[in-house]
């Protein structure tokens, strides 16, 4: 980009003439700000597109969705005012193609683009192209995106602003193996190889000894190249049992920067966050305040405009370091919204149209505690590999203090083209333990059939005593649940069980572990259900060919009848123990 | 009637009969499982087992059945005879496959080498993540079907293993798949 300097961004509506057609007129952006944003193109899919569309509609702003051909019937397409199909199922043919997104915005009369997270959200060129097309990019200035997007540059910038960064070193691309090892020694082992353009754990490698370094750098470069098109990597000292604490910040074009408290995101599997919360537990108020101030300093030093997140690592001694700044809305933003009551998407939109932040720092009060868990289509029994398939049944939880952000609707297909996240479940309560218990119940209520998911894993984490005690750090899952996998079904009796041992005794000793005896009971129920359905005793549309009657016993009561909400076979006594159900078809008819 | 089910790599064979008001499931040396269906609708089953009332949510698609009890979901497949024979044949010599389309990055074993269950066999890149695939049994590598750099998908076998004979098994404790029929 030339000398435009991006300073036109949503500033005080100095220019009011609309340069509508001239594609190169970078100043067009300010004109929309004069009358406020009228129509937003939502350049994303899934739950975050749904989130942005909801905010737009609540604000009385129009919203246009873009979809790939795989997403025509998706939830975000259903909720938007208008939908534009922009290409093939692969993101590289649709959601990642900036020109098509911008063309869709122009065609449908949008004056702003909200990028969500991922895809084009941290693409500075895209932000510039939006401005050039007369569209407000709802996010920070392109040069800030660029600077913070390259971690090596961000580190340098923060060091200059007196923000502490994790000790580390750059790597020359043509460094010899010997030079690599020398740099590694200087940083100190263990260390992390990280992709400069990286995120979400991609292109990252842990190295515990010098001889592993060369291979790790190679693997990280390959992964970074394939994921981000940029193979640059650098080294960073691996802190021991650090906590990942990040601060939500808001900045506006009037020079105001505030923070909205911190989020604790230490529960990570392979550097991918899966459980987050706000506020961070077990943190002194003094330390908390210093972390907040440092985050505000970091954001102010780049004149940040919009919603952003300053990620930090806190080590065991109470030292903390700048890790990176995410120049976009964060996946885990709901926990901040829960405890502060601030609608972050609405704030993003207001800031983008040039308004000052509506809330003063002193008015930001963190109330209660919120926890978020990420439900992923992945198979914990197979190394958490992403799963694909049709969602056949999805019943999210509900009730007071429970929020579900999802892009999944009936028949939604989880494909390998996109992120396998199915839903974010968040809970709020007056204190941490109440929020945690509410989360456990919410997970217990959730039903998801059709794709394997991490539901039971999330529940195990939230029920873990160390999690309940708030004793968390980024190695939590490795330390407490190493190699966790759901117990495999033990449907056949184990061969080594002693003769004469009773069913009950066997249950008690089923492979020790948190579920103990209950697990075996669950296996029985799973098996019983399979037997009931497959043997045709429960009618579910087409039965298995050749299997006989529906219903149990001779009186013909059962699944063959017209489907009611419930088909009663005998009187139910939910709390009775030892009462056998009596067959009573008359009762059913009397109902 | 006979029920032949597959759950992941495991094959199960039960007899299902009605005795009085209960369904009785027997087989596999397991104690009979007696239960009654208290109620059901199109996606919920209320079952009474001797221990009490259990709720199962389910969806059936053809011969596939997804069942969730608590936060545990399982996919059962009803086997026909042909499928069962194929599966029985494959159990002695499990095949490692890519779980989803991706690229083969590295082969960590050689034909003839001995592997333990859980030992990494190949590295693939899928969904832009590098993943190690491990041996499912204690066994020997019979054949490697792909080359480094090749694009692989779940249909292509990558590595075929065979179970070790009892005498050269590294440990005798494995109740691996196929230990009985």
Spell out the per-residue pLDDT of chain A, length 591, in tens: 333 333 333 333 333 333 334 333 344 445 554 679 999 999 999 999 999 999 999 999 999 999 999 999 999 999 999 999 999 999 999 999 999 999 999 999 999 999 999 999 999 999 999 999 999 999 999 999 999 999 889 999 999 999 999 999 988 888 899 999 999 999 999 999 999 887 767 788 899 999 999 999 999 998 888 888 888 999 999 998 999 999 999 999 999 999 999 999 999 998 899 999 999 999 999 999 999 999 999 999 999 999 999 999 999 999 999 999 999 999 999 999 999 999 999 999 999 999 999 999 999 999 999 999 999 999 998 889 899 999 999 999 999 999 999 999 988 999 989 999 999 999 999 999 999 999 999 999 999 999 999 999 999 999 999 999 999 999 999 999 998 998 877 665 444 444 443 444 334 333 333 444 444 778 888 989 999 999 888 876 433 322 233 333 333 333 333 333 344 444 444 332 333 333 333 333 333
Residue of B nearest to A378 (CA): B99
Query: What is the CA angle A345-A100-A41, rounded to 5?
Result: 25
User: Does the pLDDT of residue B92 top 70, yes or no?
Assistant: no
The answer to whether A565 contacts chain B (CB < 8 Å) is yes
When scoring A197, A461, A534, A561 by the number of chain B Cβ atoms within 10 A, the one with the most, hence best to mutate, is A534
Q: Which of A119, A88, A140, A65 is nearest to A407 (CA)?
A: A65
Residue B117 — pLDDT band, cuts 50, 70, 90?
confident
The answer to whether B130 contacts chain A (CB < 8 Å) is yes
DSSP string, A509-532: TTT-SSSTHHHHHHHHHHHHHHHH
Residues of A designated catalytic: 328
Backbone angles phi, psi at A359, to 5 degrees: -110, 140
Q: Do A530 and B76 touch (CB under 8 A)?
A: yes
Tokens 């708030």, located at residue: A470
Residue B155 — pLDDT band, cuts 50, 70, 90?
confident
The answer to whether B181 contacts chain A (CB < 8 Å) is no
Model pTM score:
0.80
Strand, helix or coil for residue A69: helix
**Beta-bridge mates of residue A447:** A395
Residue of A nearest to B20 (CA): A553
A contacts of B14 (beta carbons < 8 Å)? 527, 531
Least confident of A338-342, B52-56, B122-126: B122-126
When scoring B17, B27, B63, B71 by the number of chain A Cβ atoms within 10 A, the one with the most, hence best to mutate, is B71
At residue B28, the pLDDT reads: 78
The answer to whether B171 contacts chain A (CB < 8 Å) is no
- Which tokens go with A398? 């509900």
Pairing assessment for the beta strands B157-163 and A378-379 based on DSSP bridges: unpaired
ipTM above 0.85, yes or no: no
The answer to whether A525 contacts chain B (CB < 8 Å) is yes
Gap between the Cα atoms of A349 and A132, Å rounded:
19
Strand segments, DSSP code E, in A50-120 are 62-68, 82-87, 112-114
B contacts of A559 (beta carbons < 8 Å)? 40
Q: What distance lies between CA A439 and its chain's CA centroid? A: 16
The answer to whether A385 contacts chain B (CB < 8 Å) is yes
Q: Do B3 and A530 touch (CB under 8 A)?
A: yes
């Amino acid at each position: 980009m030339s000398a435009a300097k991006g300073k036109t961004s949503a500033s005080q509506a100095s220019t009011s003439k609309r340069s509508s057609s001239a594609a190169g007129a970078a100043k067009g952006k300010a004109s929309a700000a004069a009358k406020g944003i009228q129509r937003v193109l939502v350049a994303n899919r899934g739950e975050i597109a749904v989130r942005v569309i909801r905010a737009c509609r609540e604000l009385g702003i129009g919203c246009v969705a873009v979809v790939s051909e795989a997403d025509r019937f998706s939830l975000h397409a259903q909720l938007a005012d208008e939908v534009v199909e922009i290409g093939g199922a692969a993101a590289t043919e649709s959601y990642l193609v900036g020109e098509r997104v911008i063309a869709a915005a122009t065609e449908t009369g949008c004056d702003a683009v909200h990028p969500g997270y991922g895809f084009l959200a941290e693409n500075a060129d895209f932000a510039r192209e939006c401005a050039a097309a007369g569209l407000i990019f709802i996010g920070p200035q392109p040069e800030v995106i660029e600077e913070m997007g390259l971690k090596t540059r961000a580190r340098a910038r923060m060091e200059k602003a007196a923000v502490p960064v994790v000790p580390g070193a750059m790597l020359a691309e043509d460094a010899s193996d010997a030079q690599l090892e020398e740099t590694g020694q200087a940083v100190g082992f263990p260390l992390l190889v990280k992709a400069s353009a990286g995120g979400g754990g991609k292109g990252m490698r842990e190295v515990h000894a010098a001889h592993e370094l060369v291979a790790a750098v190679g693997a990280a470069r390959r992964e970074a190249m394939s994921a981000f098109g940029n193979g640059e990597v650098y080294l960073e000292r691996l802190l021991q049992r650090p906590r990942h604490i990040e601060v939500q910040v808001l900045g506006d074009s009037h020079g105001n920067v505030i923070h909205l408290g911190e989020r604790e995101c230490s529960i990570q599997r392979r550097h991918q966050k899966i459980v987050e919360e706000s506020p961070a537990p077990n943190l002194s108020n003094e330390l908390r305040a210093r972390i907040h101030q440092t985050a505000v300093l970091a954001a102010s030093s780049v004149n940040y405009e919009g919603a952003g997140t300053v990620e930090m690592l806190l080590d065991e001694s109470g030292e903390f370091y700048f890790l990176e700044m995410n120049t976009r809305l964060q996946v885990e933003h709901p926990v901040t919204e829960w405890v502060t009551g601030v609608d972050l998407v609405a704030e993003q939109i207001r800031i983008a149209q040039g308004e000052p932040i509506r809330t003063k720092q002193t008015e930001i009060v963190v109330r209660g505690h919120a926890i978020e868990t990420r439900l992923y289509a992945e198979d914990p029994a197979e190394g958490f590999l992403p799963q694909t398939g049709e969602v056949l049944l999805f019943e999210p939880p509900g009730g007071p203090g429970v929020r579900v952000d999802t892009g999944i609707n009936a028949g939604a297909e989880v494909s390998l083209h996109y992120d396998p996240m199915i839903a974010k479940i968040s809970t709020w309560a007056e204190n941490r333990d109440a929020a945690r218990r509410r989360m456990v119940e919410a997970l217990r209520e959730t039903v998801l059939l059709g794709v394997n998911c991490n539901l039971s894993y999330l529940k195990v984490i939230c029920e873990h005593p160390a999690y309940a005690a708030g004793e968390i750090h980024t190695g939590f899952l490795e330390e407490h649940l190493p190699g966790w996998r759901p117990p495999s079904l033990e449907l056949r009796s184990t061969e080594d069980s002693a003769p004469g041992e009773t069913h009950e005794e066997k249950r008690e000793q089923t492979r020790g572990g948190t579920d103990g005896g209950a697990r075996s009971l669950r296996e029985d129920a799973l098996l019983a259900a399979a037997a009931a359905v497959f043997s045709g005793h429960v009618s579910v549309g087409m039965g298995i060919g050749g299997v006989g009657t529906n219903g149990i016993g001779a009186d013909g009561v059962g699944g063959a009848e017209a489907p009611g909400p419930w088909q009663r076979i005998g009187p139910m006594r939910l709390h009775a123990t030892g009462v056998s159900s009596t067959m009573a078809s008359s009762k059913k008819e009397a109902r | 009637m006979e029920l032949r089910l597959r759950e992941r790599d495991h094959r199960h064979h039960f007899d299902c009969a009605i005795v009085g008001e209960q369904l009785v499931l027997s087989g596999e040396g397991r104690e009979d499982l007696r239960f009654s269906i208290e109620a059901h609708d199109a996606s919920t089953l209320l079952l009474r087992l001797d221990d009490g009332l259990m709720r199962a949510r389910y969806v059936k698609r053809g011969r596939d059945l997804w069942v969730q009890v608590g936060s545990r979901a399982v996919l059962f497949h009803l086997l026909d005879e042909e499928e069962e024979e194929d599966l029985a044949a494959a159990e002695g010599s499990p095949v490692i496959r890519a779980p989803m389309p991706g690229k083969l990055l590295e082969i960590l074993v050689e034909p003839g080498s001995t592997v333990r269950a859980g030992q990494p066999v190949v590295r693939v890149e899928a969904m832009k993540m590098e993943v190690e695939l491990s041996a499912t049994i204690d066994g020997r590598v019979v054949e490697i079907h792909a080359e480094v750099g090749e694009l692989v998908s779940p249909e292509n076998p990558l590595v075929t293993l065979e179970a070790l004979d009892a005498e050269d098994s590294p440990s005798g404790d494995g109740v691996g798949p196929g230990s009985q029929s």
